[in-house]
Structure 1
Amino acid sequence: MRTEEKEEEEEQQWRSVHEVLLIVLPYLHSLFELLSMTRVSRSFRDAIRDETALWTNVVVEPPLSSRLTDDTLSEITSKSAGKLNTLILRQCLRVTDNGLRRVIDANPLITKMIVPGCTELTPEGIMKCVSSLTKLETLHINGVYGFTKHHISSLSSTYLPREGSIDVEVCPKCDEVRMIPSCSRRSCKQRQSKERKCKGCWFCVSRCVECSVCLGPETEVQEAACGGDVLCLECWIVLPKCCFCNKPYCTSHSSLRHEIASSDDAAAAAARPMFECQACYYREGTNPYDAFDYQI
């Protein structure tokens, strides 16, 4: 009798766990997280597979990006039953125009299409897809090669006239199609976008790699450990520095740090991370301090 009661209690607890997990599912960020949840149990896998609402936003990021093919993408997006709203494919190098077109034809209600770094896609293929999406509001195509100012002009005038709908535009300085960051400097913010003197791509205007502020001749500039990247003084001050060369990594390159074990408690170590940059880590000599000529 006690055994039966114990089994019923365990089953009830498991049901409660499932109910909580089902509540969490809509808040998962990417396809990788969603597929990971299907491994909890068979019943949970079936619940995820049959819940159409969970598949209306498909986000594919590394490490799954390199494995995604046209057929796999079609199979995944078919679970939305034609109600796909957001399609985000980051650096999916095996997705082609035909694969994307297949998804678009089956899901004409897409409002957000983000495909940065999908190098197998072409401007012509994306233009055809955009022309079929009457509710498209956001298009990110940075890293898709071949776009010209004529493509961007057609997209912005015919399909996406709202400013900021497309993540790239024609640089007014070099006339190339590139991302043009909005400057965070207060004096630049007060000007209209077209009047900004610093309006230009990363190649034409020197900017802080962390906050994108323009770096003029009167701005104090600091070198980052990222290899050629520069920082404004405000960002340089707050970023953790290499223990030997005193250069920080920007946030996007923080994974390159070689952490140094600290004897302090965990909380203090997390607040003040100790690390070497790659240049100091691979420098010749067993003692990093030997690489520097200190003069007293």
Structure 2
Amino acid sequence: MDEEPSASEEAPAAREEEEAASSSSSGHHEGLLFSLRYLGVWDLLAVERVCRSLRFAVQSDSLLWKCIHIDGPPLSERITDEALLRLAQKAQGWLQCLSLVDCSKITDDGLRQVLEISPRLQKLSVSGCRRLSIEGLIHNLKAFESSGLSSGFTGIKQLKLGRLFSLLPEHYEDLRSLLGRNEVGCQPIASKPQFYHCGVSSLACDDDRAIDIEICPECQNLKFVYDCPSESCRAKGLDHCRACDSCIIRCSQCGRCMKDCRYEETFLLDYICRGCLEAQSEDRMEE
């Protein structure tokens, strides 16, 4: 991230000094500063380059960096271990949620450095981080838990792994124990169902699942396990028609199973139920 995004073309030095002097004397509107907390990482980095006063406002407020979400290109393709560490340092120890999606340059050592300066971190997502290893992740989380206990912090409570990690049963047990689920072999507790949508699970730490991977009731493999939104299936119980997408074929649009349902296979080898196909046809006719 040596080249940070800019909100506009660089102003001449004289103009920038004039803006800084004007801002320091009158100050920015309170509503503008309040709105900064709703901006993402990319936008906050852009605001930093508008003028000196806004740069000071962004850099001096550590709560703006309490949740760091790197949710895909172009930022995920450019962020390195050093850049991630600089972002975490902006939180000044108040970082609570870190979501790294498809950050291919982040390594185990880079994540370790961020954990060392983020004692309040509780939610972590590393989906698509190809240079991370499951062994290195477990080692870093164990070290993070040990340092947190000595400082009075609770440690990681939610973890998103995505599809790239191949977990062995012993890895799964270690992670469950680290996340506060010491009952090995029990299914994770979730207050809301997980539905299949184009094979993509929720990547951000926005639900109450301790971990996104669990044991499939059908094949007993560690995978994403989905519930069925079909009313006929849900009427038979919460555990009925619950399995990974390899064991139960599901509609890529609504997530329902294909039992007793007409469906079609798309060019991308996805499946769409008849109900979703008819809804798409009606939308095209209205357009």
**TM-score of the superposition, structure 1-length normalised?**
0.70
Pick from 263, 267, 281: which aligns with 1:221?
A: 263
1:62-211 to structure 2, matched below 5 A, reads: 62-131=73-142, 132-133=144-145, 134-161=154-181, 163=189, 164-191=209-236, 193=238, 195-196=239-240, 198-211=241-254
Percent identity of the aligned residues? 31
Match of 1:41 in 2: 51
Deviation of residue 191 (structure 1)?
Answer: 4.9
Query: 1:190, 1:35 → 2: CA distance?
Result: 49
Equivalent residues, number: 231
| 1:45–1:149 CA distance, 2 compared to 1 (3 A) | same
Pick from 252, 259, 279: which aligns with 1:238?
A: 279
Query: 1:191, 1:39 → 2: CA distance?
Result: 57
Q: Which has the higher contact order (CA 8 A, sep 6+)?
A: 2
Amino acid paired to 2:248: V
SS of structure 2 residue aligned to 1:239:
helix
Deviation of residue 129 (structure 1)?
Answer: 2.9
SS of structure 1 residue aligned to 2:68:
strand
| 1:98–1:191 CA distance, 2 compared to 1 (3 A) | farther
Structure 2, unpaired ranges of 5+: 1-17, 146-153, 182-187, 190-208
Structure 1, unpaired ranges of 5+: 1-6, 247-270, 273-296
C-alpha RMSD over aligned residues: 2.7
Contact 1:97–1:121 (Cα < 8 Å) also in 2? yes
| 1:78–1:190 CA distance, 2 compared to 1 (3 A) | farther
Determine whether 1:57 maps to 2:100.
Answer: no
Query: 2:69, 2:261 → 1: CA distance?
Result: 39
Query: 1:98, 1:82 → 2: CA distance?
Result: 18
* Larger deviation, residues 102-111 vs 124-133: 124-133
**TM-score of the superposition, structure 2-length normalised?**
0.72
